[in-house]
Amino acid sequence: MAKEIERKFLVNHDIWKTLEKPMGHPYRQGYLLTDPDKTIRVRQTNEKGFLTIKGATIGATRPEYEYEIPIGDAKELLDQFAVSELSKIRYKIHFDNKTWEVDEFLCENTGLIVAEIELLSEDEHFTKPNWIDKEVTAETKYYNSNLSTNPYKTW
């Protein structure tokens, strides 16, 4: 079974805005199903589309299956079948032999910046960059599927 082991952190805005960053990439993602035990997500970037199925999170681990799909299919699925949606700019930051994916959320989630790191095991040691703040891995309100229905601006 495919597994994703991921930890999630808030980003310190003051430090983040002073960093030299690589170019960010816009993501549009929507959910065909959002359920506490499973989600089905469609994601569209400028170049590609993806269909992702995720199971329930236990600790920092959950089953995940992701498939590249034609970008036109992704757009059609988002336009015609998504029950909720969000947009963000994603930056990939390489730090201490790990890749951090940092999402600056847009629209109703503007002001929220979240960093994620994928690990090989839940107890894997890693170094946090100085722009990392509080860990929010276990806080479900920060799950993208929840942000698509309960956006940051409404908290």
Mean pLDDT for all residues in the chain: 96
Contact 49, 75 (CB under 8 A): yes
How many structural domains compose the chain?
Answer: 1
Point out the residues that are catalytic: 31
User: What percentage of the chain reaches a pLDDT higher than 90?
Assistant: 97
CATH number of the domain within which 78 lies: 2.40.320.10
Asked if the model's pLDDT at residue 1 lies above 70, the reply is: no
Contact 65, 58 (CB under 8 A): no
The 10s digit of each residue's pLDDT in 9-53 is: 999 999 999 999 999 999 999 999 998 899 999 999 999 999 999
User: Which residue range forms the structural domain that includes residue 60?
Assistant: 3-154
Distance CA 84, CA 78 (A): 9
| Count of CA atoms in the C-beta half-sphere (13 A) of 17 | 4
